[in-house]
Amino acid sequence: MGKKDNRQKALYGKDPWKIVETEFSPDSNFLDETVFALGNGHFGTRGTLEEGYDGPAGTSMEGTYVNGFYEKVPIHYDEPGYGYATHTETMLNLPNSKVIQVMVEDEIFSMFTGSLEHYHRVLDLQQGILWREMRWISPKGKIVNIETQRLVSFVDDRLMMIKYTITPVNFSGKIMLISMLDGHVHNHKSENDPRMGTSLQGQTLRLERIDQLGDMSRLLQVTTYSKLQILTGVSHLIQSDQPYKRETEIHGQMAQHRYEFSAEQGKRIGLLKAAVYLRGDRNHQENLWEMADKVLNSALEQGWAHYHFLQQQVLEDFWNNSEVTIEGDDLLNQGIRFNMYHLFQSAGKDGYTNIGAKGLTSEGYQGHYFWDSEIYILPFFLYTQPWRARKLLEYRYNTLDKARERAATLFRKPGALYPWRTITGIECSSYFPAGTAQYHINADIAYAIRHYVKATSDYDFLKEYGAEIIFETARVWMYLGTYSLQRNNSFCINTVTGPDEYTAIVNNNFYTNAMAKMHLHYAVETDQLLKDLYPVEYQRIAAKIQLKHQEVTKWDEAASAMLLLKDEELGIHPQDDTFLEKACWPFDSTPSENYPLLMHYHPLDIYRHQVCKQADVLLAMYLLSDQFTLEEKRANLGYYTPITTHDSSLSRCIFSIIEAEAGSAEEAMNLFIKTARIDLDNHQGNSHHGIHTASMAGAWLSLVAGLAGMRLKGNELYFSPHFPEKWKSYGFRLKFKGNCIKMTVREDIVELELLEGEKVSVTIFGKKYRVSSDKTLTIEGRGDV
Amino acid sequence: MGKKDNRQKALYGKDPWKIVETEFSPDSNFLDETVFALGNGHFGTRGTLEEGYDGPAGTSMEGTYVNGFYEKVPIHYDEPGYGYATHTETMLNLPNSKVIQVMVEDEIFSMFTGSLEHYHRVLDLQQGILWREMRWISPKGKIVNIETQRLVSFVDDRLMMIKYTITPVNFSGKIMLISMLDGHVHNHKSENDPRMGTSLQGQTLRLERIDQLGDMSRLLQVTTYSKLQILTGVSHLIQSDQPYKRETEIHGQMAQHRYEFSAEQGKRIGLLKAAVYLRGDRNHQENLWEMADKVLNSALEQGWAHYHFLQQQVLEDFWNNSEVTIEGDDLLNQGIRFNMYHLFQSAGKDGYTNIGAKGLTSEGYQGHYFWDSEIYILPFFLYTQPWRARKLLEYRYNTLDKARERAATLFRKPGALYPWRTITGIECSSYFPAGTAQYHINADIAYAIRHYVKATSDYDFLKEYGAEIIFETARVWMYLGTYSLQRNNSFCINTVTGPDEYTAIVNNNFYTNAMAKMHLHYAVETDQLLKDLYPVEYQRIAAKIQLKHQEVTKWDEAASAMLLLKDEELGIHPQDDTFLEKACWPFDSTPSENYPLLMHYHPLDIYRHQVCKQADVLLAMYLLSDQFTLEEKRANLGYYTPITTHDSSLSRCIFSIIEAEAGSAEEAMNLFIKTARIDLDNHQGNSHHGIHTASMAGAWLSLVAGLAGMRLKGNELYFSPHFPEKWKSYGFRLKFKGNCIKMTVREDIVELELLEGEKVSVTIFGKKYRVSSDKTLTIEGRGDV
């Protein structure tokens, strides 16, 4: 696998609303499974084939995941230390309910035997289904038409449906459909790639109960260590007037339903299969066993068409709020919509789950949630489905107690330190130099809350959840920082790791200090805001967390005294105290196959050099845009671009944004393009191990914040769009304070429509406009209405 | 366990040549087992009781270890990375051959039943044996006298002997001795203490063959992963005229010999037990099975007295070359001799083994060899048994290829990087911030070679082994260092960890840079020396390692340009680039039970502060004494003393030396005293888990280099002794260039005798003297003959 898929452009067609495959190949199969994965925020399943896979080893990985459903495993350290993460949580590979094997007379249907006369696989971004149709000629010459349709329901989170249709073309005879629920599953072994895998070995799901009742099978399992229950159920409906007989069987944790038809040439045989994934821990009051029965029966009763229709309804709504269009580049259109679609499929919606680095398409990074959620992904939801952004933030509130425990362990003081990677809120990073040391996670979360509140005016959220997080997390900076006499009594934060993981354990990382300053100031601002507007709520929070005025004053002082490095000669912000003194990475003598560097060089070797995996100073320049001049942005861009490898998928989008603002639109465009099709073109070479959710959202940011120059200042939106050179036009829709705005940029014209809401102020090219619902705002050139 | 033993001073009597215990207590048992451990460099065994131990859980640990006999286990990383140590090696706990249980009629002898009327246990530092005698009154009133003697032979490395004697005092009747060879052994679990243990779980020794033949049992086992063979054998000789019957039995990997005597009141029954430990990997050409037979037979034939006599002979020689005497402080005398004795017992002698952090007394630190060998322990051997110092250095030569492989992995270039911790030469440290990052190991080894060559003039060693090591290891500094434009084109070494493990991943660690400078200079010096004196050898080496003149020139340039930090205002050498900017550790608010800090604070918390685990700058000031003025030493001592916790046992001895030179003799003395009895008084609280070999040697250094002020300058010895205030006198013997020197310091007088050799020059109080064998040199005051 790997980068070889890269060569072939447009592996999935050019339809801007469809991901289309017309040729099946084991070369791309592993990647296909990721691309064609379905999900609904609660669970997801890889785009594997119903009939199973007979291709070469290492070109497929079966996987179905319930968001946040995990096994908890102790972390072994050969050399343990105080305060190390004690356990890791791994999102579990769950029973496979997709299996439908086919026997045509005595031949087993497989993509690897006989021949395909026709083959089509499509993920439809407007219909919300995955379908496959083909004409298969068996080795013995039997011809069948097969059509499969699959959906993971957006309206019933627990439900997947598969509609399987087979028609004998040139014969009458026996056709058998063997449908399974296969509970013999385990997570895949890590390949010594730190970005992959897990230390889980073998099956960790234990059988609690399994049964079959007519066309239904139910399987209740419990995890070995975390003691979580999962019920997987399947049920079937035959849609055929051909006679058939049914046999059922259970082997261990696997249930089988065999339907043997006496098929007549030319007559369709249909099998509708419904599957449910119910987790027991948060629904323990209900009877999972009976609930599965109900959901499955109701699903089969309502039928495929019903759920199919609802998929379209939900997506129509989604695209109405968030559609992005690039006229003149279908591949980009396809790429960015594919990204948005996958984000939509991946993000948790219940306040207890979030969005993993690989969404629900793989167990890579163990299904962990990172800062990606707040810094990269949240803006997309915030401006398209703000309620989902709120849910992602509520997740942090719901894990605040665990962050408090972590702070207590590390500092023996009040406050909260969020984990670098986690499912339930405990620190799961076993490598603290690029884990716990990335204290900026606290500021990232604070930033996201600030962003959310300013873009939505949802003060209800702030007083119920946000403020408490802001205060508790702010406290930690006071333990980490110190006033340095040697440096003019500046507030210094030593021994940290910033976003750039190619530098670790340094002092005064620019991003960390800048974000900590923002965080502390915002904590002070929030303190005042709550006192003024919600004194009762304020009292409740202050009493709960023992917050005193004196403490807030110290935050203010520290924020004001924060050391922000600047090298006057170069006109740039050094990434940390000693970054500029290090030797530059020997790029000239580094062969291209040695990227990403982390896979080919020891961390110490990398840390010793000026080389960045990803945006660090530049990320601060985007997030805290106001605090930097254009000149500064240009200088830093010029300095950091040649030493940044973009080995992290979180990097190019940020460079693209800064390029758009301060550099060249062309370079911004190039970076955007690489980001926008990261998984469809497998740019990182590892998309077979799952999508890159942060980068997918980053692509959206590259367009909206990059090319269109959107910034939130105060409580208002600012734009400064680049006019498209390569395209006819580009445009996008945004939700903002309850309004829905549509911006279109073409040739020399910027158009703004208000699709929902009555009026809204926006600033374009530095000039403020009021847009109302009755009239499209049209600006020609750079500011003349 | 732990520090509680600390309270009671002189747990082991005050005899300056004997470690004596007159009361048996489970409170001190775990510690006793370490203190009374025996060894001979090849193998060692803890001072556990022959009859086994019935005390509370956690107060005993059985253990027998063959130096360098290990199991190899893959290291699991939850987040793996390139170039991480892939395997660790663990010195294995081997079969217990000491077991001799006693049945007195129907009662089992135990220290925990009945009562002891008399009890004595003694480790005799001149005889080289451990003996125990007691009168036991059984619960039913039977009285027996029991005497056990044990030795681990200094002349036959493979051999242990136990002489067991029992006499019925007030009865005639049945006495049974049950002697065992117990192969059911495994290493002990780590207690989440990074200084302990291993990840080995359960028994890793697999049975290959076991048999019994008359009084002999042999057990051949093989390790599961490293595939090393170990043969343990025991044989017995009954020394009694009482009738007895013999029974033998094998259970799995355990062999039993039961001797049942019809004992007559007042008549002694003696059992002589011989045991051998033969490792197969380096003797595979020989037949272990037959060799065991031979060694055991010969041992029993020669008898106890023979080996006992030889022990004394060997020790007489040892003390003749190395005796230390402190007149007026028996406890110190006892302490420092105990240390030397244990060093003598622990160090490998074959060029393939070295000396573990815990010697052969425990599996702590997995039996690994560290820089302790070169920097702390080597000088002791160098000045008392230089051939053993050479063997320790040959070990490094014999593992040079593995160091080359490590450099190739990390740098993809020629050269050699020694492992931070290892048995066979591979890097076994899974925590690279305090492992691989301690690149100073290369310079430490170079320093030791330089020291050895200068003190012995053994140029044969230099050209055969030393030079190749010096050159190959020097190369690595050129990969690690870089010329910094920002710092006057100084040669900077970034992203390293120095000796002080409470600071990690820093730039320009003072010790590292200073030692690298020494190393590079010495490499240049060696290059020239070999070219001049041994041109043929030089050509061979240069051709072998592709050494070019140009490369040596670059070493010289880098050494000369090396950045050595100095803070002019404070007059000190900062430990690294940013050390002085960090906040001081909050000592005032740190409860005493929170030491050692590493057990109670996260590394990041510790790294963020000015706090030292151990000597770092000060160590450089001792090793490179000439390069610093007295004033500088005083200033640095003043600065680092209050921020150093001495949580490492490698610290106080160095502070003691610098105190003696630059500070106060009294403080030097206090530090020396704490070091000298580190294990006898359990100063670190963990001596039950094994002796502290580096600190033991450090105590010797504190006396010789500290109080007597010995330095090697050029090729000559310099002394600057402090006169004893608390003691009547102190003195020591040294080997130097084939001579044996005895120095005694009393009141106002320094006396120097030449015990071996004809004449030698030494400088005392800055004045050069020639000492000859016919006349004692006596200096009164500070320099008047």
- Which residue from B81, B193, B578 is facing A598, i.e. has the nearest CB? B81
Residue to substitute from A187, A412, A604, interface B, most B β-carbons within 10 A? A604
| pLDDT on residue A283 | 56
The span from the CA of B507 to the CA of B579, in Å, is 10
Q: Do B623 and B376 meet the contact criterion of CB atoms below 8 Å apart?
A: no
| pLDDT on residue B192 | 58
Q: Do B705 and B720 meet the contact criterion of CB atoms below 8 Å apart?
A: no
The span from the CA of B4 to the CA of B483, in Å, is 52
Q: Do B349 and B361 meet the contact criterion of CB atoms below 8 Å apart?
A: no
Query: Are A432 and B603 within 8 A, CB to CB?
Result: yes
Residues of chain A with pLDDT under 70: 1-9, 190-199, 281-286, 783-785
Query: Are B608 and A436 within 8 A, CB to CB?
Result: no
Q: Which residue of B has its CA nearest to A487?
A: B581
pLDDT category of residue B675 using cuts at 50, 70 and 90: very high
How many residues are present in chain A? 785
Q: Which residue of B has its CA nearest to A421?
A: B79
Q: Do A97 and A292 meet the contact criterion of CB atoms below 8 Å apart?
A: no
CB under 8 Å to B644, separation ≥6 — which residues?
B611, B612, B613, B614, B615, B651, B655
For B609-662, the pLDDT digits (tens) are 999 999 999 999 999 999 999 999 999 999 999 999 999 999 999 999 999 999
Q: What is the β-pairing status of strands A229-239 and A269-279?
A: antiparallel
Residue closest to B541 by CA, chosen among B477, B459, B474, B472:
B472
- Which residue from B194, B492, B607 is facing A495, i.e. has the nearest CB? B607
The span from the CA of B188 to the CA of B202, in Å, is 9
Q: Per-residue pLDDT averaged across B145-160, rounded?
A: 97
Query: Are B495 and A582 within 8 A, CB to CB?
Result: yes
For A310-341, the pLDDT digits (tens) are 999 999 999 999 999 999 999 999 999 999 99
Q: Do B751 and B719 meet the contact criterion of CB atoms below 8 Å apart?
A: no
Q: What backbone torsions phi and psi does residue A212 show, to the nearest 5 degrees? A: -130, 140
Residue type, A562: M
Query: Are A581 and B190 within 8 A, CB to CB?
Result: no
Structure token pair of residue B488 = 């006057």
Beta bridge partners of B679: none
Residues of chain B with Cβ-Cβ distance to A601 below 8 Å are: 82-83
CA B139 from chain center: how many Å? 42
DSSP A508-522: S-HHHHHHHHHHHHH
Structure token pair of residue A706 = 């990059």
Give me the total of CB pairs closer than 8 Å, taking one residue from chain A and one from chain B. Answer: 147
| SS3 assignment, position A249 | strand
- Prediction pTM value: 0.93
Distance in Å from the first CA to the final CA of chain A: 52
Q: Is the Cα torsion angle B614, B617, B618, B623 positive or negative in sign? A: positive
pLDDT above 80 (res B782): no
pLDDT category of residue B541 using cuts at 50, 70 and 90: very high
For A653-695, the pLDDT digits (tens) are 999 999 999 988 899 999 999 899 999 999 888 999 999 999 9
Q: What backbone torsions phi and psi does residue A140 show, to the nearest 5 degrees? A: -90, 5
Q: What is the β-pairing status of strands B767-772 and B759-764?
A: antiparallel
The span from the CA of A50 to the CA of A36, in Å, is 13
Q: Match 């007159």 to its residue by tokens.
A: B22
DSSP A65-104: EETT-EEEEEPP-SS--TT---EEEEEPPPPB---EEEEE
- Which residue from A78, A82, A494 is facing B88, i.e. has the nearest CB? A78
Q: At B402, which helix (H) or strand (E)?
A: helix B400-411
Q: Per-residue pLDDT averaged across B286-306, rounded?
A: 94
Q: What is the DSSP letter of B721?
A: P
- Specify the long-range contacts of residues B288-291, CB closer than 8 Å, at least 24 apart: B288/B220, B288/B229, B288/B231, B289/B209, B289/B218, B289/B220, B289/B231, B291/B231
% of chain B with per-residue pLDDT over 90 = 90
Structure token pair of residue B513 = 């840079």
As annotated, the active-site residues of A are 501
Sort B137 into a burial class: Cβ within 10 Å, 0-12 / 13-18 / 19+: middle
Question: Residue B382 to residues A664, B322, B375, B712, B737: CA-CA distances in angstroms?
Answer: 67, 11, 11, 12, 10
Residue closest to B151 by CA, chosen among B143, B159, B142:
B159
Residues of chain B with Cβ-Cβ distance to A600 below 8 Å are: 82
Q: Do B469 and B530 meet the contact criterion of CB atoms below 8 Å apart?
A: no
The span from the CA of A30 to the CA of A48, in Å, is 9
Query: Are A411 and B605 within 8 A, CB to CB?
Result: yes
Q: What backbone torsions phi and psi does residue B60 show, to the nearest 5 degrees? A: -160, 150
Query: Are A79 and B429 within 8 A, CB to CB?
Result: yes
CA B292 from chain center: how many Å? 28
Q: Match 């009026």 to its residue by tokens.
A: A759
Sort A607 into a burial class: Cβ within 10 Å, 0-12 / 13-18 / 19+: buried
Query: Are A430 and B80 within 8 A, CB to CB?
Result: no
Complex-level ipTM beyond the 0.90 threshold: yes
Residue to substitute from B89, B578, B601, interface A, most A β-carbons within 10 A? B578
Catalytic residue among B50, B374, B427, B501: B501
Q: Which residue of B has its CA nearest to A596?
A: B82
The span from the CA of B643 to the CA of B662, in Å, is 18
Residues of chain B with Cβ-Cβ distance to A492 below 8 Å are: 581
Q: How crowded is residue A664: how many other Cβ atoms within 10 Å of its Cβ?
A: 12
CA B247, B253, B255 angle in degrees (round to 5)? 20
Q: Which residue of B has its CA nearest to A73?
A: B78
Residue to substitute from B84, B426, B436, B505, interface A, most A β-carbons within 10 A? B505
Residue closest to B156 by CA, chosen among B41, B253, B317:
B41
For B125-137, the pLDDT digits (tens) are 999 999 999 999 9
Q: What is the DSSP letter of B189?
A: P
Residues of chain B with Cβ-Cβ distance to A607 below 8 Å are: 495, 505
The nearest CA of chain A is from the CA of B350 a distance in Å of 29
DSSP A387-423: HHHHHHHHHHHHTHHHHHHHHHHHHSSSS----SSBS
pLDDT category of residue B191 using cuts at 50, 70 and 90: low
Q: Do A315 and A128 meet the contact criterion of CB atoms below 8 Å apart?
A: yes
Sort A536 into a burial class: Cβ within 10 Å, 0-12 / 13-18 / 19+: exposed
Residue to substitute from B71, B72, B82, B427, interface A, most A β-carbons within 10 A? B82
Crossing angle for the helix pair B330-346 and B665-676, to the nearest 10 degrees: 50
DSSP A150-213: EEE-SSSTTEEEEEEEEEESS--EEEEEEEEEE----PPPP-S-TTS--S--S--EEEEEEEEE
> Strand order of the sheet with strand B173-182?
B107-108, B100-104, B173-182, B254-263, B244-251
Average pLDDT, chain B: 94
Residues of chain A with Cβ-Cβ distance to B190 below 8 Å are: 80
